[in-house]
Amino acid sequence: MAVKIKCHVQSRNSTYIPGRDQEICTFVGFTGTPVESTDKDTRAVFGDYVSIYDIQDAVDDGATVPIYYESRLAKLDLDQAAMEQLNRDVEEVFEDEEDVALREAAKTRWAALEKLVGAQPRVDQVAADIVQHFAARNEAVAGKGMIVGMSREICARLYPAIVSLRPAWHSDDPAHGAIKVVMTGSAADRELLRPHIYNHSTKKLLEKRFKDANDGLKLVIVRDMWLTGFDVPCLHTMYVDKPMRDHNLMQAIARVNRVFRDKEGGLVVDYIGIAAELRSALKAYTESRGKGQPTLDAAEALAKLKELIDVARALLHGFDFAGYPTRAVALLLPAANFVLGQEEGKKRWFDVVLAITKAFSLCGTLDEAMALREEIAFFQAIRAVIAKATTSEKKLSEDQKNAVLKLILDNAVVAEGVEDIFKLAGLDRPDIGILSDAFLEEVRRLPQRNFAVELLQKLLNDEVKSRSRTNVVMERKFSERLQAALNRYRGRAIESAQVIEELIAMAKEFRAAAQRGDALGLNDSELAFYDALADNESAVREMGDEILKKIAHELTDKLRRSATVDWQKRDSVRARLRNLVRITLRRYKYPPEMQEEAIALVLDQAERLSDEWTRC
């Protein structure tokens, strides 16, 4: 984009007269793809760069994701001579020449190249490879793909070749179907092209569908349309089967660098040999003082993946998991127990497996990465078992769950074990709301002691959160005790057997504490206020249970009737309720030295109960 700025020079205190006073014009250009060649030069027109925001800056800031490059030319198994000719032709032929003589020569070479690229056996091979590749890509990271064809005819012929392999992807209705061709055309076009020629409103519909990450339109075939100025954040793969160079190439591949959810990077898949043009683009880019590379080789991500897998294997050193392909379910729990037995084992395992997942999403379509798929799934399954047994506070979003478990669910050998952690551990699913003695005894006998600790912690923590969400004192008391016991265990101050006994005893105490209301004749709300008042031991000694129960009854009744919607946010209402509590405590002669602390605790308790009261 260029902006022309006009100004004039005139004498001080004089009126500007057009034609007499000097005018100065300045061109200011904004571009993401500077051109610097013998006959076209951005800096020759606009001057040197005022400010540079390059690829590296954008990736570092999180504004874009890196783009990875993968060559699939050799995968097509074409005749070697034809492949060499194809590479030579691609380096020589382009359709955007401005010189008339060069353009006419390019047209001739382009027609010859198009004939080679568009040969039906090659079209069929490209279609088969794209179908296989795109399926593997979406197993690693969900998203959309764009195929760039050399001509409208090749695009139109590629469509039935793909649909013949995936009939369910086709639909004559523009509002349905997983694949579409998007290109310009008219009613005068040949019959082959006509099914893919749409009016303006239909193209807008397809554009809207493709930009919607949840829409079923997953793959589009284009020639020129949508290659510039078209942002689809969920687009993660571009299949290039058309010669491109310079800024046209740079702008096209930038379609896959948009940030989206768990997308670690975009992928450019080369079927026609654009590697030389990418190197040329990089040379021009670095000469323009830009940092970072337009594309990174997928082999780099593969090298990182192998390095991370070595780290995961090292964390399992000493544990024999060699039989995981056939004994995955039997090995999952012992493996999880082994990981949890290490210092910071859970965090270190979660970190490395997450990094493996990200690296695999960038190179999972390479043959070497595919060979590691089953082992990665086993590592993911161990992570899922630990997460299911230990994670209670932070809930994963559906997208995160899908990304983390995708490899597992695609491998039936380990899917069963992740579905039910209790079945995996050989335990009857407990009535979590009770934490029965029978179940606690089963956990006590588990041979995987580290895993038993984590499972008990999770269940007890969930129970405390659930049963005492409206009882501040009970939640604080048991949460602090639970954390203290675990800190001693993780600090190696006590053994797993000891902490298991502590947690079992704590579970039984909590169960008894939660059931006190019936014995005291108090409902859950009244018991919560009773606990807030009885948190002061001197008040219990001086006043006794009966008086505290009476105060709890009265406070529950008064605060329930006085509380209004959003009263916690209104200072005037809070002040009135605070005064109500103070008067009530004074009337019953609650120990004055602890009164302010009791008032604060009672109001804190009332806030917890207010949502429940307003629903009633």
CATH number of the domain residue 184 falls in:
3.40.50.300
Between residues 349 and 614, the one the model is more confident about: 349
Residue 410, CA distances (Å) to 55, 380, 404, 602 in order: 35, 11, 12, 52
CA distance 433 to 438: 14
Q: Mean of the per-residue pLDDT values for the chain?
A: 77
Tell me, what's the pLDDT at 401? 46
CA distance 311 to 302: 14
Average pLDDT over residues 432-454: 72
Between residues 603 and 301, the one the model is more confident about: 301
Which DSSP helix (H) or strand (E) runs through 407? helix 398-409
My answer on whether 126 and 266 are in the same domain is: yes
- Judged against a pLDDT cut of 70, whether residue 16 lies above it is answered with no
- Judged against a pLDDT cut of 70, whether residue 613 lies above it is answered with no
430 in a domain, yes or no? no
Domain count, the chain: 5
Tell me, what's the pLDDT at 176? 96
My answer on whether 261 and 398 are in the same domain is: no
Per cent of the chain over pLDDT 90 is: 24
Strands 67-71 and 296-297: parallel
Tell me, what's the pLDDT at 455? 74
- Judged against a pLDDT cut of 50, whether residue 409 lies above it is answered with no
My answer on whether 94 and 38 are in the same domain is: no
Domain boundary among 369, 401, 424: 424
299: which 2 tokens?
């082999």
Per cent of the chain over pLDDT 70 is: 70
pLDDT interval class at 26 (50, 70, 90): low
pLDDT interval class at 405 (50, 70, 90): very low
pLDDT interval class at 194 (50, 70, 90): very high
CA distance 18 to 32: 36
> What are the backbone angles phi and psi of residue 174, rounded to the nearest 5°?
-60, -25
429 in a domain, yes or no? no
My answer on whether 145 and 289 are in the same domain is: yes
Tell me, what's the pLDDT at 344? 87
Residue 452 has a CB neighbour count (10 Å cut-off) of 26
Residue range(s) defining the domain that contains residue 43: 2-55
Assign 3-class secondary structure to 23-54: EEEEEEECCCCCCECCCCEHHHHHCCCCCCCC
168 in a domain, yes or no? yes
69: β partners:
268, 297
- The answer to whether the beta carbons of residues 318 and 338 sit under 8 Å apart is yes
432: which 2 tokens?
């979590």
My answer on whether 321 and 412 are in the same domain is: yes
My answer on whether 499 and 611 are in the same domain is: no
- Judged against a pLDDT cut of 90, whether residue 179 lies above it is answered with yes
Assign 3-class secondary structure to 346-405: HHHHHHHHHHHHHHHHHHCCCHHHHCCHHHHHHHHHHHHHHHHHHCCCCCCCHHHHHHHH
pLDDT interval class at 217 (50, 70, 90): very high
488 in a domain, yes or no? yes
- Judged against a pLDDT cut of 80, whether residue 167 lies above it is answered with yes
My answer on whether 153 and 191 are in the same domain is: yes
- The answer to whether the beta carbons of residues 323 and 331 sit under 8 Å apart is yes
Residue 55 has a CB neighbour count (10 Å cut-off) of 22
Could you give the angle at the alpha carbon of 326 between the alpha carbons of 323 and 332, nearest 5°?
A: 70
Between residues 1 and 266, the one the model is more confident about: 266
Tell me which residue has tokens 């198009």: 114
My answer on whether 181 and 288 are in the same domain is: yes
My answer on whether 416 and 276 are in the same domain is: no
Tell me, what's the pLDDT at 418? 41
My answer on whether 144 and 274 are in the same domain is: yes
Tell me, what's the pLDDT at 160? 97
My answer on whether 550 and 475 are in the same domain is: no
| Residue among 190, 199, 188, 119 nearest 158 (CA) | 119
Domain boundary among 390, 424, 458: 424
Strands 179-182 and 219-222: parallel
218 in a domain, yes or no? yes
Tell me, what's the pLDDT at 607? 75
Please write the tens of the pLDDT for every residue from 547-599: 888 888 888 787 777 766 555 566 676 777 788 888 888 888 888 777 788 78
Tell me, what's the pLDDT at 403? 47
409 in a domain, yes or no? yes
323: which 2 tokens?
């039989």
432 in a domain, yes or no? no
574 in a domain, yes or no? yes
pLDDT interval class at 45 (50, 70, 90): low
Could you give the angle at the alpha carbon of 504 between the alpha carbons of 502 and 508, nearest 5°?
A: 115
Between residues 611 and 382, the one the model is more confident about: 382
Tell me, what's the pLDDT at 327? 78
Domain boundary among 514, 535, 561: 514
My answer on whether 261 and 360 are in the same domain is: no
Average pLDDT over residues 493-513: 78
- Judged against a pLDDT cut of 70, whether residue 290 lies above it is answered with no
- Judged against a pLDDT cut of 80, whether residue 606 lies above it is answered with no
Average pLDDT over residues 143-160: 95
